[in-house]
Amino acid sequence: MRACRAVGARTVAVHSEADAFGAHVADADEAVLIGPAPSRESYLDGGKILAAARHSDADAIHPGYGFLSENWRFAEACADAGLTFIGPPAEAIRRMGDKSEARRLMAAAGVPVLPGSPEPVVDVAEAASLAERVGFPVLLKATAGGGGIGMAKVAEPAQLAAAFAAVQRRAEAAFGNGAVYVERYLAEPRHIEVQVFGDARGAMVHLHERECSIQRRHQKLVEESPAPGLDPAIKTRLTAAAVKGAAAIGYANAGTLEFLLDATGAFYFLEMNTRLQVEHPVTEEVTGLDLVVAQLRVAAGETLAWTQEAILQRGAAIECRVYAEDPAKNFLPSPGTISRLELPAGEGIRVESGVVEGSTVTVHYDPLMLKLVTRGASRAEAIARMSDALDRCVIQGVKTTIPFLRRVLAHADYRRGQVHTQMVEQGVFNA
Ligand code: MV4
C-alpha cells in the first residue's frame, strides 16, 4: 500500500470476514470482502480474488508472500483475465515449483548443487543405488515440496525403504504428486539466500545476501544482512551464481535463491522462492532501495533502473519476527485479542506491523504479528538497537516470541555470528 502511494497508484485490499478491521484494510483506498475466515474459501480462492479485481476495476494484483504468491496457475489466470500479476512469469514459478527440476536447471546453469539425483527416482531400488553413490546420510525430498515440507533424513541403507514410502505417501497426500528425489544430507549448515531482481528485458542483478539460519521448524525467527563473517571471496561467488541461475531461467521481478553453506565454505543451491519474501526489509535497509516500488515498476513494463555496481550493502540490518506463539510452551500458537500494544520507534528502528491495539489474532492464519527491523553502521550497532527495541515492546493479550528473541540476541554464539540452522531445535537458546 505504501509503495502504491509512492508511485501514485490507488489500492484495493481483499479481506476475509475475520479481517474486516485488519491493518491492510485500513491502509487501502478501498476494500472488498472475499469470503469467510478459512483461507481455502477466501485468500486461497483465486476465483474470488479475480472477481474482486474485476469488481474494483483493478489493473494489477500483488500476491504478497503466502497464499497464492507461488501458484503458477493463479499467475496465469491473472494474465488470462488481462490483469498484471506483480511477480515473475507464470512459467518461472512453475519450473521453480518443481524442486527437482529447479535443481537440474540450476546445475545446468553452473550453480553448485548437492550430490544427488538428476531426476526424481522411480522406486526404492533406484533411491538405494543413488544413496550408495552420494553416500549416507541422504535426504529424501518431495519434488512438489519445498520449505521443509515432505523431507526425510536417511542415516543408513536399512532405513531407506520405509522413509521412501513415507515421503512418497505424504507428498501424494499433500500435493497430489508423490515424486521424490535424493540429495546428500548436510549437517548443521548455514542458510544464506541471495536476493535477485530482473526485468522483462533480461537484465538481472543481485541485492546481496541474507543470513536466515535462526529458524525453528522452517519458520524463520531472525534474519540479517550481511551474513556475518561471510568470506568476501565466497560471497562474490555466491551472488554471481545466483545471478547466473536466475538469468538462465529468464526470471523477472523479485526472487530469492536459497543456499546451504557448510563449514568448509562450500555452498549449494537449495531452492528458489519466486516471490518477495517476508524478510525483504533487511535488504532494503542495507541497500537503501524499495523492493516493492521496484516490483511495481518492473511489472508495469519498465526496465530495471539499477546497475549492479550501484547496489551497495551498507552497514547491517536485522529483522526479528514477533509471532503470537508461546516459546515456553514449545511455540504453541497463542490466539487472542491484543489488549495493549506499544511499539518502539526511533533512529535505526523500523516496525512492520499487521496488527494494532484491539486486533484479534485468529487460528485461521499464520500467527506472525509484526516484524522489528533495526539497522546500524555495524552489526554490533544493529544488535544493540534490536535488543533495546525488543525491551521496549509491550504486547498484552497474547503470548509472543519476544522473550525467545531476547535470548537469541543475547547469546554469545549469535553475537559472534556463529549460527547454523539446527541451533533452535538443539535448544541452544533455551533458558
Ligand atoms: C537440506 C538440508 C540438508 N541437506 N538438504 C529445509 C527446507 C528446504 N528448503 C530444504 N531444507 C533443508 N535441505 C540437504 N541436502 C537441510 C535443510 C534444512 C534447512 C534448510 C534451510 C533452513 C533451515 C533448515 C532447517 C532444517 C533443515
Residue ranges of alpha helices (H) inside 20-155 are: 23-27, 46-55, 72-80, 90-97, 99-108, 124-134
Report pLDDT digits (tens) over 116-166: 999 999 999 999 999 999 999 999 999 998 877 789 999 999 999 999 999
Q: How far apart are CA 48 and CA 54, in angstroms?
A: 10
Take residue 379 and report the three cell numbers written for it.
552489526
Q: How far apart are CA 216 and CA 256, in angstroms?
A: 20
The ligand 1 atom at the shortest distance from the C-alpha of residue 138 is 15
Report pLDDT digits (tens) over 373-415: 999 999 999 999 999 999 999 999 999 999 999 999 999 999 9
Strands 84-85, 60-61: pairing kind: parallel
pTM here?
0.97
State the pLDDT at residue 149: 78
What spacing in Å lies between the alpha carbon of 53 and ligand 1's midpoint?
37
Ligand 1 pocket mutation, candidates 270, 272, 428, criterion most atoms within 8 A of CB: 270
pLDDT tens digit at each of 431 positions of the chain: 999 999 999 999 999 999 999 999 999 999 999 999 999 999 999 999 999 999 999 999 999 999 999 999 999 999 999 999 999 999 999 999 999 999 999 999 999 999 999 999 999 999 999 999 999 999 999 999 887 778 999 999 999 999 999 999 999 999 999 999 999 999 999 999 999 999 999 999 999 999 999 999 999 999 999 999 999 999 999 999 999 999 999 999 999 999 999 999 999 999 999 999 999 999 999 999 999 999 999 999 999 999 999 999 999 999 999 999 999 999 999 999 999 999 999 999 999 999 999 999 999 999 999 999 999 999 999 999 999 999 999 999 999 999 999 999 999 999 999 999 999 999 999 98
Cα angle for residues 399, 404, 409 (degrees, 5° grid)? 140
State the pLDDT at residue 188: 97
Q: How far apart are CA 405 and CA 390, in angstroms?
A: 8
What spacing in Å lies between the alpha carbon of 218 and ligand 1's midpoint?
8
SS3 call for 43? coil
State the pLDDT at residue 153: 96
The ligand 1 atom at the shortest distance from the C-alpha of residue 183 is 15
Closest-CA residue, ligand 1 atom 23, reads 421
Q: How far apart are CA 58 and CA 338, in angstroms?
A: 33
Cis peptide leading into residue 137 (ω within 30°): yes
DSSP 406: H
Closest-CA residue, ligand 1 atom 11, reads 148
Q: How far apart are CA 190 and CA 210, in angstroms?
A: 11
State the pLDDT at residue 244: 98
Closest-CA residue, ligand 1 atom 14, reads 185
Does the annotation count 385 as an active-site position? no
Q: How far apart are CA 104 and CA 121, in angstroms?
A: 13
For 186, list phi and psi in degrees, rounded to 5: -105, 125
State the pLDDT at residue 146: 80
Which position among 103, 190, 216, 275 bears the catalytic label? 275
- Which protein residues are within 6 Å of ligand 1, measured from CB? 114, 139, 146-148, 183-186, 189, 191, 215, 218, 258, 260, 270-271, 421
SS3 call for 152? strand
Question: Exposed/middle/buried for 380, CB within 10 Å: 0-12, 13-18, 19+?
Answer: exposed
Identify whether the C-beta of residue 14 lies closer than 8 Å to the C-beta of residue 1: no
Q: How far apart are CA 305 and CA 289, in angstroms?
A: 11
What spacing in Å lies between the alpha carbon of 148 and ligand 1's midpoint?
6
Identify whether the C-beta of residue 395 lies closer than 8 Å to the C-beta of residue 212: no
What spacing in Å lies between the alpha carbon of 257 and ligand 1's midpoint?
13
Ligand 1 pocket mutation, candidates 134, 260, 422, criterion most atoms within 8 A of CB: 260
What spacing in Å lies between the alpha carbon of 334 and ligand 1's midpoint?
27
| Residue listed under C-alpha cell 540490518 | 317
State the pLDDT at residue 147: 74
What spacing in Å lies between the alpha carbon of 237 and ligand 1's midpoint?
21
For 39, list phi and psi in degrees, rounded to 5: -65, -30
Closest-CA residue, ligand 1 atom 7, reads 148
